[in-house]
Amino acid sequence: MANVDAIINTARTYMDEPDQTFLTANVLGGMMNIAYQEFRQKVMEADPNILSRSTTVTVTGNSVDLSAIAPPILGTAVPADGTRMVKLLSVYTTDGTTGLPNTMFTGVGNLQALTSGGPSYYLQGTTLWLSRQINTTATLLYVGDGSDVIWETTTTTPPDDLAPVHDLIALYAYRQYQMMDSAVSQALMIQIQSREKALEHYLLTRSVGGPNYVQDVTSRDFFI
């Protein structure tokens, strides 16, 4: 299972609602979107780097408003293409010759923490603060909101590159459907738990060295 239309058809099969009079395409599409956001959240809990994307920003001084860059990734003017940031993973500058990171900034919990320790960053609203002035470009690695995935039966593209576990999206949507009747079956919950374990195992073994990387949940240093 990989394409959006196949995932939707699987969800409708679980729901046993071939008649779209009650379960319209719009209603089902809303359920699929909620289900996909839940799926992305489970992936982020295991390995956010899988869903990561990057952007470069020009920093003059020690702060930049991420709602004012072009294109913005926070604020009211973010394009509806999945670029809105929901989780910031890392901030770093790169070497002009090798292209590799040369300064990694570590995330801290408040502005005061920027005054102690090594290079660090703090996200306050839409403003990214750095512990030092860099007057150059910085790379931001982050997870977008996934809003670029359109849940329509005519969509034949995959929502992402995690095809072996896409049935979880259909199962999450089925749970949304059962909640409409204020009843969630035990069989569904058992299947969801089983497939969530399969998701975790898949993410752990998706790449060589993956288990060691994913288990390092204390590290905030992610980069491409």
Q: What are the angstrom distances between the C-alpha of 114 and each of 108, 128, 133, 141, 218?
A: 7, 12, 12, 20, 19
Q: Over the stretch 32-67, which tens digit does the pLDDT of each residue have?
A: 999 999 999 999 999 999 999 999 999 999 999 999
Angstrom distance (rounded) from CA 19 to CA 183: 21
Other beta carbons less than 10 A from residue 123's beta carbon: 17
Q: What string of H, E and C letters represents the secondary structure of 104-124?
A: EEEECCCCHHHHCCCCEEEEE
Which pLDDT belongs to residue 18? Answer: 67
Angstrom distance (rounded) from CA 7 to CA 11: 6
Which pLDDT belongs to residue 218? Answer: 42
At residue 193, φ and ψ (nearest 5 deg) are -60, -40
Which pLDDT belongs to residue 19? Answer: 67
Angstrom distance (rounded) from CA 186 to CA 69: 48
* Pairing label, strands 120-124, 101-107: parallel
Other beta carbons less than 10 A from residue 219's beta carbon: 9
Which pLDDT belongs to residue 216? Answer: 45
Q: What is the DSSP letter of 157?
A: S
Residues whose CB falls within 8 Å of the CB of residue 166, separated by 6 or more in sequence, listed in order: 1, 2, 7, 158, 159
* Sequence ranges of the domains in the chain: 4-47+150-205, 49-144
Asked, as a colleague might, if the bond just before 48 is cis with ω within 30 of 0, I would say: no
* Per-residue model confidence as pLDDT tens for the chain (224 residues): 689 999 999 999 999 876 677 788 899 999 999 999 999 999 999 999 999 999 999 999 999 999 999 999 999 999 999 999 999 999 999 988 888 888 999 999 999 999 988 999 999 999 999 999 998 999 999 999 999 999 999 999 999 999 999 999 999 999 999 998 778 899 999 999 999 999 999 998 887 654 454 444 444 454 44
Which pLDDT belongs to residue 214? Answer: 47
| % of the chain surpassing 90 pLDDT | 75
